[in-house]
Structure 1
Amino acid sequence: MAAAADLVVPTLAIRSSVAVELWSSAGSKQPYEHKAHLPREETKSSRSICFSPDGRYFAYSNGQAVKVLEASRDSAASWPVVATLPRPKAFYLNFSPRGRYLCTWENYTITKDRPEGSPNLLVYEVATGEEVFAVVQKNQTDWQPSWSSDESIFALVVGGEALFYDLGEGAEKGFAGTSRKIGGSRGGMLSLGPGSCPPFLAFYTPGAKGAPSMCKLYKYPALGQNQTVACKSFFQADRVEMLWNKRGSGLLLLTSTEVDKSGASYYGNQAVHFMATKGDTCSVPLSKEGPVHCVKWSPKANEFVVVYGFMPSKAALYNLKCDVVFDFGEGPRNCAYFNPFGTLIVLAGFGNLPGAVEVWDVAKREKLANLKCADTTVFEWHPNGEWFITATTAPRLRISNGFKVYHYSGALLHETMWPQGQELLGIEWQQFPDKTFSEPKITKAKHEGIKSSQPEASKKAYTPPHLRLLKEGKNPEQYLPQPSVPGLAPSAAGGANNKRNNKNKPRGPKKDVVNVVNGGDADSTPAEVAPAGAAVPPGGGVQQTPPVTVPEAGEEQQQQQQRKHQSQHNTPRPRYQPQENAADQPRNQGQQYPQGQANGQNISEKERKIRSVAKKLSDIKKLKLRRNQGENLELNQLNKIKMEARYLDELKALKLSA
């Protein structure tokens, strides 16, 4: 089986802004590329591509029609067109389980000629290209009809009512008429289970007027009200997603509400419920509050994984009794993907998360690899269970479009980036029947890979500008605003060379100043204050001597009259008014307002310190919240969080002090 599997090379279907094409590789080795014999059609209007579940057919839309191609068994032969369907507006495509039928869906529209609207869900027989069924299906999210595994039963919900069509051998009506119906209410959903034939089926009815929502299991064709196999009721469910395991013996229900009335979550409220065809039902226990990001069944059908909770989210593996068999811990992730054999699982954080990818060995419960796949919008396992593909596609992201193929050990095997001006819209691997590939042997050995051509994001923590200056050997204090120092004039506290302080300083009359120290005029420079013959210490500084002024004729009398006038009117000097005579001012009169008075409000020094410490604690609280949500903080932000205990002690001491 392994030798035969090595000869099977899955084809890669690619939809871009310029063409739809198939890529392949030489043998089982990389790289993937477009081969001359593989189809390629230039089109800017393709909306959908789709492989049949067995990989036999490939369908795509080109804006004029839907074409169905048949896969060639000879890897060197072309893929012939077997059907061309007249559906120029087809938006979605979906094959039946065995590929006999192709379903197309397009947006529902009405016209003057047909105010009731034309059928927008159509079913075609692939072999003949004949339309066999058409109906109006307005719902876009759950438009797909449901099939049994052998394609003998076709079912869908129209107007809240489940309709069943028998297509097996000997069936009289086929698509012409329904064989059975289940009544319900608008918003109902139906899902046929895989595996056994005739199948089990689940029918969901939303609650109304205070009544709970309900999901019932039936064994086709016994669809009577008293013939239910299992029944599960629950509140808070605006919609439900039904997930069957591969055998069709277990069903998971992911229920959700559009709005969380408690206001705790932007994503509404979610819950997970389990139903078994043996009649057992239960709610899946979740140990952390928050949304349910992802629920996936293992292909082995005996386990499932749930990713849930506020970031960093939790991931846990459950058995069929809904018991946790393994906890993957917490991390920034919202997706889970089992490989086709259920031996490996990838836990990842895509979308608004940074793209961390963890590869786990399910049997041994150990992590095999950690890698970063930023901006991933598409993830899919290769049918061989060893490789997986990640892609960045438009319109989710319109830059850095391309795809990469990885080995489960984290080695990059292939990379293709889209040229500028073009967009990668979709990518999909060809599927194959079960047992085409043998189960791979999982080891810890590192696979040899290639180096990505894309620049890696810097792993260095952000360094603020003032810390960068320290690394360069510069003093950052001269580039930062300086606090006022008691005893110095406000302008002197900022430094004589502080351009920001000097720019806004009012200009006073020019004076002859011999020396200014501790309260003198900060506009003076060493060239101005050092008279001829003055003693100058080493380094060019001016020797500290008592300030002396040399008044001009008549200036002393003017100054006395000015001081007398100010004292009579009790008018304080402006805070930054230049002092006419430094010798007449006390040394500690650098600030003209009483201590603690600012902007017209009396604030004590103690209260100012309390406010400052409280502000720092508030900032730390916000940083911790961002860290708990999975955001990567910078080094200086982490250091600030470490100072929380010190600030708490300082705040406590300030409040206890007299």
Structure 2
Amino acid sequence: MATKDATLPLPSTDIPIICQLDSTVQLLCSLDKSSKTIEIPNIITPKVVKLSPEGKYLACIDSTKLTLFALSDHKVLVSLDFTKQHMLIQEFLFSPKSTYLATYEQYAAHHRESKLQNVKIFRIEPQFEQVIGFTHTQSSERWEPQWTDNEKLFVKQTIAGLLFRKTECWHEPFKTFEMPHLFCFQVAKTYTKVPHFAVFVKGFQSSPCSTRIYQHPLTDSPIVTKAFFNADSATLHWNYNGTALLVIAHLETSVNYYGGQSLYYLNLDGTTLNIELDKKGPVYSVDWHPSRDHFAVVYGLMPSSARIYNHKCQPIITLPSVHRNVVKYNPQGNLLCFAGFGGLKGLMEFWDVREERPVQISEAEANDTTYCQWCPDGERFLTATLSPRLFEGNGFKVWNFKGELVAKYSIPDKEHLWLISWRPTPNVLPGPSLQGVKGSFLDQEPENYVPPNLRKAAVPSKGKQTEVKKKEEAKPILQNSGDDASTKKICNLKRKLKDIDKLKQRKNEGKKLEDNQLVKIESEAGIRAELAALEL
């Protein structure tokens, strides 16, 4: 298992962390000094590991079997031997309430000749049994079925369109909705009266592509349609109650890796909008508030910008350009994290978004992060370096929303970390209390926000020195604050430049570099600019 840094103050936690390593899957039950771990039995060299949405089950497939494990009592419920069952499962997913498990096998000639079903739906309780199956001839990217949150409606994409089924009567004939040139669909998980689903249909010849919203039972025409020409594909994002949809439209171009991207808004009341962004470039990340019709977007060529929008699609705040590509609300919706991960330097900004005017709480840096996740308690934030994105330096860190590092674990050199996740909780937890700390946070106008490395300390007048001193004492201890932090950051940037020089030397010698190493070389100009600003 991972080894921890014993010098850090590690709080206890009752929310386990699940880790998939090369040869085992383990539960880290606490982050305190004991660091108790439980190894999941009957698993050797796991290939795919997933948790059920409410944290009740853990499922894993290796080269010989599928194992279903109950996290409540740490028992193996199912061990499905592939040889005996004449199957080779490659992917699977849980239904929203973990009633069903859907499995996928790659479509092959023997499926066509014998009409075998390579997608199967199993009921988990009271006993593990198959309820239905069908043959899926498309690529593995489109095999996943979807359910509404109450699991009453089941939807599956086919080569001709969509299949619908009420789960109360699995053996009744499927209702088919034919839709030529269908690229993808997304079911609104929650709804008030009738369920809705959105589709993206690719353009054909002179006809434009379009995003459409339908309701079920199906009507002759969509209730909302948005047509546009500048897209080859799209991703669809419903809000928390299934009343509004964000569409990121992608257009393949030779200008940059991301191509051209646009953002659109559709509402069940018929409203459709083009979300105008003030900077050209890709839309890296969007996230809906978990209980309000607010959403946040990170967009634009690097250094990118970011915005938070209200329910009228009006920008509440526009952040200045820094290197970020991730935005995530915590489950309770009172905190928001903007971050720059992957090939970026790992900047994290934590914001208090309870009021109409958000304020920044803190920031920190998590270098070489390839995965991040809010804890269900809404207070802690996990960052990790996973394989295969990075094969070296695998491990994870846990932060609080004040930007303080509270736990750090590293993986031995010969091991790799492939998956990490907090165990989900069946209900939303109360979340962190921010009472009494807002006055300690950044108090400037959002429009006048300046990155911390460019801020200059204001000299208070004599009459205000006592008041300012009290405010400083009330501030939480944040990383990268004060002269010591600036010096530390300068040293860190110089170390990065040395690493880049070594990589450039290896490149000049004709040695092959990894993608993330090439990205580091490309970041040299930004690092030198930041270093120059700090030294000034």
One-letter identity of the residue aligned with 1:147: W
Structure 2 counterpart of 1:366 = 359
Structure 1 counterpart of 2:24 = 19
Unaligned segments of structure 2, at least 5 residues: 1-10, 441-474, 480-487, 499-521
In structure 2, relative to structure 1, the CA distance for the partners of 1:325 and 1:70 (3 Å cut) is same
One-letter identity of the residue aligned with 1:248: G
Offset of residue 149 of structure 1: 1.4
Alignment pair present for 1:218 and 2:214 = yes
Structure 2 counterpart of 1:433 = 426
Q: Quick check: 1:124–1:132 contact (8 Å CA) kept in 2?
A: yes
In structure 2, relative to structure 1, the CA distance for the partners of 1:218 and 1:53 (3 Å cut) is same
One-letter identity of the residue aligned with 1:148: T
May I ask how many residue pairs the two structures share in their alignment? 448
Structure 2: distance between partners of 1:401 and 1:435: 30
Out of 115-124 and 243-252, give the one that drifted further.
Answer: 115-124
Offset of residue 301 of structure 1: 3.2
Deviation sequence 1:290-348 (CA, Å, 0-9, x none) = 11111111112311111111111110011232211111221101111111011111111
Q: Quick check: 2:317–2:358 contact (8 Å CA) kept in 1?
A: yes
Q: Summarize the alignment of residues 299-318 of structure 1 with structure 2, pairs less than 5 Å apart.
A: 299-318=290-309
Offset of residue 404 of structure 1: 1.0
Structure 2: distance between partners of 1:447 and 1:463: 25
One-letter identity of the residue aligned with 2:205: K
In structure 2, relative to structure 1, the CA distance for the partners of 1:463 and 1:217 (3 Å cut) is closer
3-state SS of 2:528 partner: coil
Alignment pair present for 1:631 and 2:526 = yes
In structure 2, relative to structure 1, the CA distance for the partners of 1:12 and 1:118 (3 Å cut) is farther
Structure 1 counterpart of 2:49 = 49
Offset of residue 90 of structure 1: 3.1
Structure 2 counterpart of 1:30 = 32
In structure 2, relative to structure 1, the CA distance for the partners of 1:460 and 1:402 (3 Å cut) is closer
Offset of residue 7 of structure 1: 11
| 4+ runs deviating over 6 angstroms | 462-465, 634-639
Q: Summarize the alignment of residues 173-184 of structure 1 with structure 2, pairs less than 5 Å apart.
A: 174-178=170-174, 180-184=175-179
Structure 1 counterpart of 2:77 = 82
Structure 1: distance between partners of 2:107 and 2:138: 6
Output the TM-score relative to the length of structure 2. 0.76
In structure 2, relative to structure 1, the CA distance for the partners of 1:447 and 1:79 (3 Å cut) is farther
Q: Quick check: 1:30–1:413 contact (8 Å CA) kept in 2?
A: no
Q: Quick check: 1:148–1:193 contact (8 Å CA) kept in 2?
A: yes
Offset of residue 30 of structure 1: 3.2
Alignment pair present for 1:248 and 2:279 = no
Offset of residue 272 of structure 1: 1.0
Alignment pair present for 1:446 and 2:451 = no
One-letter identity of the residue aligned with 2:108: T
Q: Quick check: 1:242–1:252 contact (8 Å CA) kept in 2?
A: yes
Deviation sequence 1:415-457 (CA, Å, 0-9, x none) = 11111111111111111123443453363553799xxxxx999
Structure 2: distance between partners of 1:64 and 1:55: 25
One-letter identity of the residue aligned with 2:259: G
Q: Quick check: 1:316–1:324 contact (8 Å CA) kept in 2?
A: yes
Q: Quick check: 2:13–2:32 contact (8 Å CA) kept in 1?
A: no
Q: Quick check: 1:240–1:255 contact (8 Å CA) kept in 2?
A: yes
3-state SS of 2:197 partner: strand
Structure 2 counterpart of 1:350 = 341
Q: Quick check: 1:462–1:635 contact (8 Å CA) kept in 2?
A: no
In structure 2, relative to structure 1, the CA distance for the partners of 1:214 and 1:40 (3 Å cut) is same
Q: Quick check: 2:26–2:37 contact (8 Å CA) kept in 1?
A: no
Offset of residue 116 of structure 1: 8.0
Q: Quick check: 2:381–2:400 contact (8 Å CA) kept in 1?
A: yes
Structure 1 counterpart of 2:15 = 10
Q: Quick check: 1:152–1:167 contact (8 Å CA) kept in 2?
A: yes
Structure 1 counterpart of 2:459 = none
Deviation sequence 1:172-219 (CA, Å, 0-9, x none) = xx15521x3221113432221122253111122211002111222122
In structure 2, relative to structure 1, the CA distance for the partners of 1:138 and 1:459 (3 Å cut) is same
Q: Quick check: 2:297–2:307 contact (8 Å CA) kept in 1?
A: yes
Offset of residue 634 of structure 1: 6.4
Structure 2 counterpart of 1:97 = 96
In structure 2, relative to structure 1, the CA distance for the partners of 1:201 and 1:435 (3 Å cut) is same
Structure 1: distance between partners of 2:493 and 2:146: 51
One-letter identity of the residue aligned with 1:184: M
In structure 2, relative to structure 1, the CA distance for the partners of 1:279 and 1:307 (3 Å cut) is same
Q: Summarize the alignment of residues 584-623 of structure 1 with structure 2, pairs less than 5 Å apart.
A: none
In structure 2, relative to structure 1, the CA distance for the partners of 1:177 and 1:440 (3 Å cut) is farther
Structure 2: distance between partners of 1:291 and 1:281: 21
In structure 2, relative to structure 1, the CA distance for the partners of 1:330 and 1:239 (3 Å cut) is same
Structure 1: distance between partners of 2:28 and 2:130: 30
Q: Quick check: 1:213–1:235 contact (8 Å CA) kept in 2?
A: yes
3-state SS of 2:185 partner: strand
Alignment pair present for 1:336 and 2:327 = yes
In structure 2, relative to structure 1, the CA distance for the partners of 1:266 and 1:436 (3 Å cut) is closer
Offset of residue 636 of structure 1: 9.7
Structure 1 counterpart of 2:123 = 125
Alignment pair present for 1:379 and 2:375 = no
Structure 2: distance between partners of 1:39 and 1:20: 6
The structure with the largest alpha-carbon Rg is 1
Deviation sequence 1:477-501 (CA, Å, 0-9, x none) = xxxxxxxxxxxxxxxxxxxxxxxxx
Higher relative contact order (CA 8 A, sep 6+): 2
Structure 2: distance between partners of 1:638 and 1:71: 50
One-letter identity of the residue aligned with 1:459: N
In structure 2, relative to structure 1, the CA distance for the partners of 1:415 and 1:422 (3 Å cut) is same
One-letter identity of the residue aligned with 2:18: A
* Identity in percent: 26
Offset of residue 365 of structure 1: 1.6
Structure 1: distance between partners of 2:239 and 2:265: 11
In structure 2, relative to structure 1, the CA distance for the partners of 1:232 and 1:62 (3 Å cut) is same
Offset of residue 243 of structure 1: 0.5
CA root-mean-square deviation: 3.1
Unaligned segments of structure 1, at least 5 residues: 1-5, 73-77, 450-454, 466-625, 643-658
Structure 1: distance between partners of 2:496 and 2:309: 44
Out of 376-385 and 12-21, give the one that drifted further.
Answer: 12-21
